[in-house]
Amino acid sequence: MERPRDEEIHVVTKEEMEEVRRLLAKADARKESPLKGVRGGICPVCNQPTMDYADDLVYESYRTGERVVITGLTGTRCRNCSDQAYDLRSSGIIERVLEERVPGGYECTITTLGGERLGIYLPKDVVRKMDIEPRQKAIIKLLSRRRMVIEV
Protein backbone atom coordinates (compact mmCIF):
# COMPACT_ATOMS: atom_id res chain seq x y z
CA MET A 1 0.00 0.00 0.00
CA GLU A 2 1.29 3.41 -0.96
CA ARG A 3 1.61 6.18 1.63
CA PRO A 4 -0.84 9.07 0.90
CA ARG A 5 0.58 12.46 0.07
CA ASP A 6 0.35 15.11 2.79
CA GLU A 7 -2.30 17.10 0.93
CA GLU A 8 -4.50 13.98 0.76
CA ILE A 9 -4.56 13.54 4.53
CA HIS A 10 -7.58 15.18 6.16
CA VAL A 11 -6.77 17.42 9.12
CA VAL A 12 -9.54 17.29 11.70
CA THR A 13 -10.80 20.76 12.64
CA LYS A 14 -11.71 21.92 16.11
CA GLU A 15 -15.38 22.06 15.09
CA GLU A 16 -15.29 18.46 13.86
CA MET A 17 -13.74 17.33 17.14
CA GLU A 18 -16.45 19.13 19.13
CA GLU A 19 -19.14 17.48 17.00
CA VAL A 20 -17.61 14.03 17.62
CA ARG A 21 -17.43 14.73 21.37
CA ARG A 22 -21.07 15.85 21.37
CA LEU A 23 -22.20 12.73 19.49
CA LEU A 24 -20.18 10.43 21.78
CA ALA A 25 -21.62 12.10 24.88
CA LYS A 26 -25.13 11.74 23.44
CA ALA A 27 -24.56 8.05 22.69
CA ASP A 28 -23.02 7.50 26.13
CA ALA A 29 -26.02 9.12 27.85
CA ARG A 30 -28.36 6.61 26.17
CA LYS A 31 -26.34 3.60 27.30
CA GLU A 32 -27.64 1.64 30.22
CA SER A 33 -25.37 0.87 33.09
CA PRO A 34 -23.34 -2.30 32.49
CA LEU A 35 -24.25 -3.23 36.06
CA LYS A 36 -28.00 -3.23 35.37
CA GLY A 37 -29.50 -6.51 36.50
CA VAL A 38 -26.59 -7.46 38.77
CA ARG A 39 -27.75 -9.31 41.90
CA GLY A 40 -25.78 -11.06 44.59
CA GLY A 41 -22.32 -9.61 43.93
CA ILE A 42 -19.76 -9.92 46.73
CA CYS A 43 -19.63 -6.79 48.89
CA PRO A 44 -16.03 -5.60 49.43
CA VAL A 45 -16.93 -4.30 52.92
CA CYS A 46 -18.97 -7.05 54.57
CA ASN A 47 -17.84 -9.86 52.21
CA GLN A 48 -21.43 -11.08 51.68
CA PRO A 49 -23.14 -11.85 48.32
CA THR A 50 -25.54 -8.91 48.76
CA MET A 51 -24.49 -6.30 46.14
CA ASP A 52 -27.42 -5.45 43.83
CA TYR A 53 -27.89 -2.95 41.00
CA ALA A 54 -29.42 0.38 42.06
CA ASP A 55 -30.41 3.43 40.04
CA ASP A 56 -31.09 5.73 42.99
CA LEU A 57 -27.64 6.07 44.53
CA VAL A 58 -26.62 9.29 46.26
CA TYR A 59 -23.06 10.64 46.48
CA GLU A 60 -22.44 12.86 49.48
CA SER A 61 -19.20 14.46 50.65
CA TYR A 62 -17.89 17.45 52.54
CA ARG A 63 -15.18 19.56 50.92
CA THR A 64 -13.64 22.68 52.43
CA GLY A 65 -16.66 23.62 54.46
CA GLU A 66 -19.34 22.73 51.92
CA ARG A 67 -21.60 19.75 51.42
CA VAL A 68 -21.78 18.17 47.95
CA VAL A 69 -24.79 15.94 47.17
CA ILE A 70 -25.37 14.26 43.79
CA THR A 71 -28.51 12.16 43.34
CA GLY A 72 -29.83 9.78 40.69
CA LEU A 73 -26.57 7.86 40.22
CA THR A 74 -26.33 4.20 39.16
CA GLY A 75 -24.16 1.36 40.40
CA THR A 76 -24.49 -1.28 43.13
CA ARG A 77 -25.58 -1.15 46.77
CA CYS A 78 -25.12 -3.76 49.48
CA ARG A 79 -28.37 -4.97 51.08
CA ASN A 80 -26.44 -5.85 54.24
CA CYS A 81 -24.19 -2.85 55.01
CA SER A 82 -25.43 -0.24 52.46
CA ASP A 83 -21.99 0.17 50.87
CA GLN A 84 -22.21 1.73 47.40
CA ALA A 85 -20.14 1.34 44.23
CA TYR A 86 -20.75 3.62 41.25
CA ASP A 87 -20.60 2.55 37.61
CA LEU A 88 -18.31 4.30 35.11
CA ARG A 89 -20.93 6.83 33.96
CA SER A 90 -21.82 7.86 37.52
CA SER A 91 -18.15 8.03 38.50
CA GLY A 92 -17.62 10.40 35.57
CA ILE A 93 -20.51 12.60 36.72
CA ILE A 94 -19.08 12.76 40.25
CA GLU A 95 -15.64 13.60 38.90
CA ARG A 96 -16.96 16.41 36.66
CA VAL A 97 -19.04 17.95 39.46
CA LEU A 98 -16.10 17.92 41.87
CA GLU A 99 -13.71 19.35 39.25
CA GLU A 100 -16.09 22.22 38.47
CA ARG A 101 -16.55 23.24 42.08
CA VAL A 102 -14.33 26.02 43.28
CA PRO A 103 -12.94 25.16 46.70
CA GLY A 104 -14.48 27.29 49.43
CA GLY A 105 -13.37 28.39 52.83
CA TYR A 106 -10.72 30.95 51.86
CA GLU A 107 -9.50 33.14 54.67
CA CYS A 108 -9.18 36.88 54.13
CA THR A 109 -8.15 39.85 56.24
CA ILE A 110 -10.45 42.73 57.15
CA THR A 111 -8.55 45.99 57.47
CA THR A 112 -9.27 49.66 58.16
CA LEU A 113 -9.25 51.87 55.07
CA GLY A 114 -9.76 55.14 56.90
CA GLY A 115 -12.44 56.61 59.08
CA GLU A 116 -15.12 53.99 59.63
CA ARG A 117 -14.57 52.20 56.29
CA LEU A 118 -13.31 48.63 56.25
CA GLY A 119 -11.77 46.68 53.39
CA ILE A 120 -11.14 43.02 52.57
CA TYR A 121 -7.92 41.65 51.08
CA LEU A 122 -8.83 38.75 48.77
CA PRO A 123 -6.48 35.76 48.49
CA LYS A 124 -4.52 35.50 45.21
CA ASP A 125 -6.23 32.19 44.35
CA VAL A 126 -9.67 33.81 44.52
CA VAL A 127 -8.59 36.77 42.39
CA ARG A 128 -7.00 34.48 39.79
CA LYS A 129 -9.86 31.94 39.60
CA MET A 130 -12.55 34.62 39.40
CA ASP A 131 -10.55 36.96 37.15
CA ILE A 132 -11.22 39.95 39.42
CA GLU A 133 -9.91 43.35 38.35
CA PRO A 134 -9.20 46.43 40.52
CA ARG A 135 -12.13 48.85 40.81
CA GLN A 136 -14.56 46.12 39.67
CA LYS A 137 -18.04 46.47 41.23
CA ALA A 138 -19.28 43.80 43.65
CA ILE A 139 -22.56 43.23 45.50
CA ILE A 140 -22.55 42.16 49.15
CA LYS A 141 -25.57 40.20 50.37
CA LEU A 142 -26.00 39.79 54.11
CA LEU A 143 -27.24 36.33 55.07
CA SER A 144 -27.02 36.68 58.86
CA ARG A 145 -25.01 38.58 61.49
CA ARG A 146 -22.00 36.30 60.83
CA ARG A 147 -22.43 35.42 57.14
CA MET A 148 -22.35 37.27 53.82
CA VAL A 149 -22.00 36.53 50.11
CA ILE A 150 -19.97 38.72 47.75
CA GLU A 151 -21.05 38.56 44.10
CA VAL A 152 -18.77 39.94 41.40
Alpha-helical regions (H) of the chain: 14-30, 88-100, 124-130
* 11 lies in some domain: no
Rounded Cα distance, 33 and 87, in Å: 7
* 83 lies in some domain: yes
pLDDT per position as a tens digit, 63-112: 665 778 899 999 999 999 999 999 988 998 998 888 877 666 778 888 99
Q: Looking at the structure, do residues 96 and 126 belong to the same domain, yes or no?
A: no
Rounded Cα distance, 13 and 109, in Å: 48
Q: What is the pTM for the complete model shown?
A: 0.51
Where is the domain boundary, 64, 82, 100?
Answer: 100
Rounded Cα distance, 79 and 76, in Å: 10
* 14 lies in some domain: no
Domain count, the chain: 2
* 62 lies in some domain: yes
* 9 lies in some domain: no
* 28 lies in some domain: no
- Confidence tier at 45 by pLDDT (50, 70, 90): very high
* 43 lies in some domain: yes
Task: Tell me which residue range forms the domain holding 43.
Answer: 34-100
* 24 lies in some domain: no
